[in-house]
């Protein structure tokens, strides 16, 4: 069988499969996949198939509300890909579906890392919010933070780690630790500790977890 015949056959069976799955695309899109000289023959064969199947059901009739919601979740999560990959969107979607408040996640993280003080918890809440809104760098998240998040959401840590890889076309961001360590001139002055105040060790720990890199 020549390559052209093979393509022809494959496209034909693909149309049948798609029709069966209810996922058929416009016929022109299939015709474009075979060489020009084969298009007439394929269109005649497909016309026979469609004639035999009878009229199609109303558009959207097969797609239930659940399907539509799932597609919109996928669309939302993919649309939010950025410097933390698709992790922020996925975490938010899972959290909402499971009815977990952000405070619930923060509580679990605080327990995992022994953060008990008010300042440390505030830093955790602030950084988790930044993570969920895609404002952190995936490459700066520590492995132990990712492992803890995986435990909170009951998923494999490898998935969380791989999902946090920055998208290569994402918006360019700078990591801005709230403690001001290594921050450039554009960093927030409000987040910088006053010179006379020693940094809270718990806040420092939280900043390391979210901004210190994989080994922090």
Residues at the site binding other proteins, with contacts judged by CB under 8 A: 10-11, 14, 21-23, 25, 29-30, 32-33, 64-67, 69-71, 73-74, 77-79, 81, 85-87, 89-90, 93-94, 96-99, 154-155, 158-160, 162-163, 165-169
Give 11 or 205: the residue with its C-beta nearer to other proteins. Answer: 11
Reading the block at residue 163, the tokens are 């999902």
Query: Residue with structure tokens 């994402």?
Result: 170
Give 38 or 159: the residue with its C-beta nearer to other proteins. Answer: 159
Give 44 or 70: the residue with its C-beta nearer to other proteins. Answer: 70
Give 168 or 189: the residue with its C-beta nearer to other proteins. Answer: 168
Give 164 or 179: the residue with its C-beta nearer to other proteins. Answer: 164
- Residue 76: which residues within 8 A CB-CB, separation 6 or more? 89, 93
How far apart CA 115 and CA 105 sit, in angstroms, is 13
- Residue 94: which residues within 8 A CB-CB, separation 6 or more? 153, 155
Q: Tell me how long the chain is.
A: 216
- Residue 121: which residues within 8 A CB-CB, separation 6 or more? 106, 110, 115
Q: How far is the CB of 120 from other proteins (least distance, A)?
A: 27
Q: How far is the CB of 24 from other proteins (least distance, A)?
A: 11
How far apart CA 17 and CA 40 sit, in angstroms, is 20
Q: How far is the CB of 193 from other proteins (least distance, A)?
A: 35
Q: How far is the CB of 21 from other proteins (least distance, A)?
A: 7
Neighbours of 135 (CB within 10 A): 17
Q: How far is the CB of 14 from other proteins (least distance, A)?
A: 5
């Amino acid at each position: 069988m020549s390559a052209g015949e093979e393509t022809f056959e494959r496209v034909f069976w693909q149309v049948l499969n798609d029709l069966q799955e209810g996922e058929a695309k416009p016929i022109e899109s299939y015709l474009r996949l075979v060489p020009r000289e084969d298009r007439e023959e394929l269109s005649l064969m497909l016309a026979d198939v469609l004639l035999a199947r009878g009229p199609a059901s109303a558009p959207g009739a097969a797609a239930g509300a659940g399907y539509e919601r799932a597609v919109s979740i996928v669309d939302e999560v993919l649309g939010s890909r950025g410097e933390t990959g698709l992790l922020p969107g996925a975490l938010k979607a899972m959290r909402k579906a499971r009815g977990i408040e952000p405070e619930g996640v923060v509580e679990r993280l605080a327990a995992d890392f022994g953060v008990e003080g008010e300042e440390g918890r505030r830093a955790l809440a602030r950084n988790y919010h930044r993570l969920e809104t895609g404002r952190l760098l995936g490459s700066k998240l520590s492995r132990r933070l990712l492992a803890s998040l995986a435990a909170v959401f009951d998923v494999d840590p490898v998935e969380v780690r791989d999902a946090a890889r920055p998208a290569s076309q994402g918006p360019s961001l700078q990591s801005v630790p709230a403690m001001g360590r290594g921050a450039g001139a554009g960093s927030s002055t409000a987040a910088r500790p006053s010179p006379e105040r020693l940094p809270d060790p718990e806040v420092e720990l939280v900043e390391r977890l979210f901004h210190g890199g994989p080994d922090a």
